[in-house]
A = this chain, B = another copy of it.
Amino acid sequence: MAGNTFGKVFRITTWGESHGRALGVVIDGCPPRIPLSEADIQADLEQRRPGKAGAVATTRRKEPDVVEILSGVFAGKTTGTPISLIIFNRDVDTSAYEPIKDLFRPGHGDYTYLKKYGIRDNRGGGRASGRETVGRVAAGAVARKLLEREGIRVIAYTLELGGVRVKKIDLAAAEENSLFCPDPEAALRMEERIKEVRAQGDSLGGIVEIVAKGCPVGLGEPVFDKLDGDLARAMMSIGAVKGVEIGSGFEAARRPGSQNNDPILPHGFASNNAGGILAGISNGDDIVVRVAVKPIPSIARPQQTVNINMEPREITVGGRHDISAIPRIVPVCAAMMRLTLADHLLRQRAISFHG
């Protein structure tokens, strides 16, 4: 049973490969009568594109991702029927992959895809490419429209990049620099670090923090579809993510209970070590998730690998590559949080039938 569908009630199915004709997503379960236009979605797609400063970390490839709504919207509103979104690939150039098409790139899915399916689209990452996330972001924009009606807002930003950690969280600042960094000074040092590493032909990882504000109490379905469980899966399903934590996360493992419990006061929780989730259910506080992003595996340095006959080879991955999955991954993380919350918002409605 294949796994290209996410969500149970607000449910998306993505499709498409990095160098195929198009990528897209079908959203089934979006409530009717929500105003929706291509411009709403386009705005979120733009965030995945490298901006001025973004060029520091990301490639200069032109990727004019233009979304088209093919179904499910009538007279500017959703109709309750499936919403099909498509983004055609343009200027597809597979020449950079030609010399290495029989080699397994370390850190990539080349080896596992070929072993699993017995066949692999070797024009770039194929389905395993980060480009696959364009469908997630497009669908996430529709989820955003749904959440906004409930006063729920999701923000994502760079907490750490290449070892440089932010020292303050200024959300307005995060929207102004191309690294989605909420600390302008840290942003400058991150850019320095990127330049250094680029010169070395290497790459960098980092940490992204995603916060949902305004989420009502009661989202999450114990015991297996807990909100934190579903968020962990949502984030870990993004290509470069190797770790997820909620609230105090790994730090909680080192604290005594007296310091990790959040006292409850008449007007809310005195602290938020829980990260907004108790027993798998949102508690009304900010939902706080952090994800560890590994360094981009495509590096300009030579690496040891094998070819499809398992013979030893050296590989140097040419072509245009980002130095870090950050900042591009930041809007993807936000989209996955939105998709998860939209799904649980609708799930809770079904269950609270006699509420």
Question: In the complex, which of the residues B31, B107, B113, B350 contacts A354, with contact meaning CB atoms closer than 8 Å?
Answer: B31
Residues of B within 8 A of A354 (CB): 31-34, 146, 149
10 contacts between A and B (CB under 8 A): A31-B352, A78-B119, A80-B117, A109-B222, A116-B217, A205-B252, A233-B236, A236-B244, A250-B292, A255-B294
A270 and B353 contact, CB distance less than 8 A: no
Tell me if A337 counts as interface (CB < 8 A to partner B): no
| A112-B279, A204-B257 as given contacts; A263 in contact with B218, CB under 8 Å | no
Tell me if A189 counts as interface (CB < 8 A to partner B): no
Give CA–CA (A281, B242) in the complex, Å: 13
Give CA–CA (A212, B14) in the complex, Å: 30
Question: In the complex, which of the residues B22, B121, B218 contacts A70, with contact meaning CB atoms closer than 8 Å?
Answer: B22
Give CA–CA (A263, B301) in the complex, Å: 12
By Cβ-Cβ distance, the 4 closest A-B pairs, closest first, are A109-B279, A3-B225, A3-B221, A243-B245
| A126-B81, A236-B226 as given contacts; A107 in contact with B274, CB under 8 Å | yes
Interface residue total, chain A, C-beta cutoff 8 A: 154
For A159, the closest partner residue in chain B by CB is B253
Whole-angstrom distance from the CB of A331 to the nearest CB of chain B?
Answer: 17
How many copies of this chain are found per oligomer? 4
Per-residue CB contact flags for chain A residues 269-306 toward chain B (1 = under 8 Å, else 0) read 01000110011111110000000111111110101111
Q: Which of A4-12, A48-56, A167-175 contacts B (4 or more CB under 8 A)?
A: A4-12
For A219, the closest partner residue in chain B by CB is B116
A250 and B243 contact, CB distance less than 8 A: yes
Give CA–CA (A260, B240) in the complex, Å: 12
Q: Which of A112-150 contact B (CB under 8 A)?
A: 112-113, 115-121, 126-128, 132, 146, 149
Tell me if A108 counts as interface (CB < 8 A to partner B): yes
| A233-B229, A297-B257, A350-B9 as given contacts; A107 in contact with B3, CB under 8 Å | no
B6 and A128 contact, CB distance less than 8 A: no
Whole-angstrom distance from the CB of A79 to the nearest CB of chain B?
Answer: 5
A252 and B243 contact, CB distance less than 8 A: yes
A82 and B4 contact, CB distance less than 8 A: yes
Residues of B within 8 A of A294 (CB): 248, 252-253, 255, 257, 260
